[in-house]
Structure 1
Amino acid sequence: MVNKNDAKRGFTPLNRPKRLPAEITSQISHKIKEGIFPPGSKLPSETQLAKDFGVSRNVVREAVASLRQEGWVITRQGVGAYVAEDFEFKTFKIDSNELDTVEGLRSVMELRIEMEVGGAAMAARRRTTEQIEKLGKIMEQMRNIKDNLTEFTSLEEKFHQIIAEATHNSHFSEFMQFLAQRIRPCLEIKNVAAPQDKNSLRKSIRDYEKIYEAIRIGDPDKSRRAAWYAILRTAENLGLRGLQGWEESRMTLIGDLYIPTCAQADLNFKHPKLKVPVGACDTHAHIFGPKSKYPYSPHRSYTPPDAPLTQYKEMLSYLGIERAVIVQPSVYGTDNRATLDAIRDGGDNFRGVVVVDENIDEKEMERMHECGVRGVRINLLYKSGIEVSDVRKMAHKIAPFGWHLQMLVDVSEFSDLDTLAKLPVEVVFDHMGHMPTSIGTKHVGFNKLLRMLAEGKAWAKVSGAYRITTSNKYPYEDTIPYAKAIINSNPDRILWASDWPHPYINVPMPSDADILDLLSIWEPDEKIRNKILVDNPQKLYEFDPV
């Protein structure tokens, strides 16, 4: 009869295409972590392991050597290998095989962003003249490079190595070198395999120039931001949008003079394939400019081109949409004049969502309500949005008006979603919860969102697919499971929105007709689409019945 403990100690035959010593190391270390081989216990002999795994003793010796190097085991000559008493303090390791998965690469890049941002700030304080000269020479080489991406990757590695040395922290320098060696193969493969935009190399060089200049002048804050920006762009090039809940358009720090400009919406309007019902509503759009009349906040995250109401109404006419909700964008802060004027000029078929602070008085709210305001936007992603820590206080303030809270938040980064379900007002989530698709539909935050929808404790807008996708191509196929899951959770609580004029996105500017046609991909049932387009916004925004 087979002993149960002996059965647990058994190993799985190896898959020959994989590197055999690495697979043996993985299986044994897993059993050590599980306690099957406790600290101080002896591993099976080389002969037995070779028999169990179906390999030669030389392969087993290489695996045991790797286990010893990583701190899992100790070996005694002529006796065998024993599990280390302190194996939990084993040598830090990043398995290069893990970088073949999105999850593994994301984990390494999240570690990298924390290390390199801090390292750039330290380097700005501690760099020597010699190190500045070395960085300058690398920058000169980068500027002269043409299309040799392998050479560019090598220069990137040297650049980061000098910054790590400039921290004058030996542990930091050694760890960054370790990290660079692990991630370099992945970056080389990506650079060679991915189709390159003509401007992509130039953009990367500009990113490095900003880091170099900030370190050269000795400004740790600018160095930190420049490094942060560059790593986010690298992550996005690797298909990791929304790293740590951050993305390029959320990088601007208060007091920083760099404010990126975003592209103009596609003004070559066309008719969609989808025929929309009477009373259809676009529940999320922005109006920008003219700047001379409506100045932007100096602390904004981006600068948009003018996007006047006349252009927006023309776009709606092509789509066949009659109703709209104008949402206050972050670039205006709490100055709602452009949004309120657009609502007034739009007439009875327009509503609005504003950004206010907790000191707004009741009379001003009454005037806004009369104008067509039906909600307040809580912006936890971008600068110049509301930054109240006590969301509950704001909810109680707007509750008498029947307004809702519209949340611009990454549900994968916001741990207090459950508290939102207890507020005395309706809660609406922008852009499908703004969680990057690379995180996966099983994430606890996304599932909390689905549960709130299913229980009728929240609304969600199926919009902004290009803000969460890892693809640059329409129809952003990786967003389809997210949109379907949201719609299926409770079709009575779902809204559609164009997000016009699509401010500061990281994909080619889409056609608004194509954006509307996404809805037929996400939801083939016409009755449910009519709910999303007509019935649901009619209820939430208090439009007259169709």
Structure 2
Amino acid sequence: MNAQRDIFEQPKIDCHCHVLDPDRFPYAADAAYHPSGAEIGTLRSFQEVLAVHGVRHALLVQPNSGYNADNRCMLDAIRQGEGRFKGVAIVPPDISMAQLQDLKAQGIVGVAHNFALLGEPHEGVLDALWDRLAQLDMFVQVQVRDDQMVRLGARLRGCGARILVDHHGRPDLRAGVGGAGFQALLALAESSRCYVKLSGYDKFSLLPFPFDDAMPFSQALLAQFGAEHCLWASDWPHLRAVRRLDYGPLLALFMKLVPDEAARASILYHTPRRLFGFDGG
């Protein structure tokens, strides 16, 4: 019981979550999927979740579900948070430097690419965008699955920007930790510019909570990247989840995965605070 209380009291930053409020910000017409019911997560609901679990800050990620490149709901949440939130936006590849600078001034720290959902880009399509992000010291965030990293890894290493990889890289568990896609992700550790989110078990595990089949992949990422290049995230409010997920048990699972107090503090708080420029509150 004391250990579980400690995880709620320890300073934390949630590095992948979404805010969806279709009443105030109607879904975009070009969004293929419109979250509903328990998938909807308003700013007020999210703030209550953070307060109960002792989470100080959060990195909001613009969802393809509901909004695509309409970032208004997320930007509104960042503005209302008054420093509590940063964000990762979805933007068109031809966005200008001035437009990116404006987003950065509003608390956006990077741009998200959901290759797992939308497929891989053609060679060269994103080069100019990634170069602009590198110049602005912003992140290229990617969500991949299975063996996509085999083809994308070299391009990411060469882009010059810092890299965020969502949800363990969503590996093919049947291929094991030696699978080509997961090995390509592990190789990105050599660049020292890549950070991996220990999150999203529901998106790749073949088992129910506590996702025992995914633990070797978490451990391999921790061993290869180190605590200074790993982040924790809830993926709240769990869009398209195939099973029930709850915030507290996900935190408890992380505590079990990372028993070392110094490593846990680095992943949960010190690394994301430094990376994303949160204050000490």
Output the TM-score relative to the length of structure 2: 0.89
Alignment match, 1:275: 7
The Cα of 1:494 is off from its aligned counterpart by 0.3
2:137 to 390, 399, 402: 402
Listed one character per residue, the Cα deviations across residues 384-426 of structure 1 (whole Å, up to 9, x for unaligned) are x996752322111222221000001115234231221121100
The Cα of 1:529 is off from its aligned counterpart by 0.6
Distance 2:197 2:83 in 1: 22
Alignment match, 1:463: 199
Alignment match, 1:336: 71
> Greater share of strand residues, 1 or 2?
2
Q: Contact between 2:61 and 2:89, CA under 8 Å: does it hold in 1?
A: yes
Distance 2:231 2:117 in 1: 22
Alignment match, 1:96: none
2:240 to 486, 495, 504: 504
Larger RCO (CA within 8 A; separation ≥ 6): 2
Check if 1:308 corresponds to 2:47. Answer: no
2:94 to 354, 359, 366: 359
Q: Contact between 1:438 and 1:470, CA under 8 Å: does it hold in 2?
A: no
Structure possessing the higher radius of gyration over alpha carbons = 1
| DSSP-derived class of the 1:416 partner | helix
Which residue identity does 1:469 align to in structure 2? S
The Cα of 1:295 is off from its aligned counterpart by 1.9
Alignment match, 1:84: none
CA shift in 2, pair 1:297/1:440, >3 Å? farther
Listed one character per residue, the Cα deviations across residues 415-439 of structure 1 (whole Å, up to 9, x for unaligned) are 2312211211001100000113222
Alignment match, 2:81: 346
CA shift in 2, pair 1:380/1:543, >3 Å? same
Which residue identity does 1:364 align to in structure 2? Q
Distance 1:486 1:419 in 2: 20
Q: Contact between 2:27 and 2:34, CA under 8 Å: does it hold in 1?
A: no
Q: Contact between 1:429 and 1:460, CA under 8 Å: does it hold in 2?
A: yes
| DSSP-derived class of the 1:351 partner | strand
Q: Contact between 2:138 and 2:162, CA under 8 Å: does it hold in 1?
A: yes
1:326 to 60, 65, 77: 60
CA shift in 2, pair 1:352/1:299, >3 Å? closer
Which residue identity does 2:56 align to in structure 1? E
Alignment match, 1:296: 28
CA shift in 2, pair 1:420/1:362, >3 Å? closer
Q: Contact between 1:378 and 1:387, CA under 8 Å: does it hold in 2?
A: no
Distance 1:481 1:302 in 2: 34
Which ranges in structure 1 are unaligned for 5 or more consecutive residues? 1-270
The Cα of 1:315 is off from its aligned counterpart by 0.6
Distance 1:334 1:387 in 2: 17
Among the aligned pairs, what percent are the same residue? 26
Check if 1:382 corresponds to 2:114. Answer: no
CA RMSD for the aligned pairs?
Answer: 2.2
Distance 2:160 2:280 in 1: 25
CA shift in 2, pair 1:513/1:392, >3 Å? same
Check if 1:540 corresponds to 2:275. Answer: yes
Alignment match, 2:253: 518
Alignment match, 2:159: 423
The Cα of 1:326 is off from its aligned counterpart by 0.6
> Greater share of helix residues, 1 or 2?
1
Q: Contact between 1:282 and 1:325, CA under 8 Å: does it hold in 2?
A: yes
CA shift in 2, pair 1:529/1:277, >3 Å? farther
The Cα of 1:298 is off from its aligned counterpart by 3.4
The Cα of 1:478 is off from its aligned counterpart by 0.6
Q: Contact between 1:491 and 1:528, CA under 8 Å: does it hold in 2?
A: yes
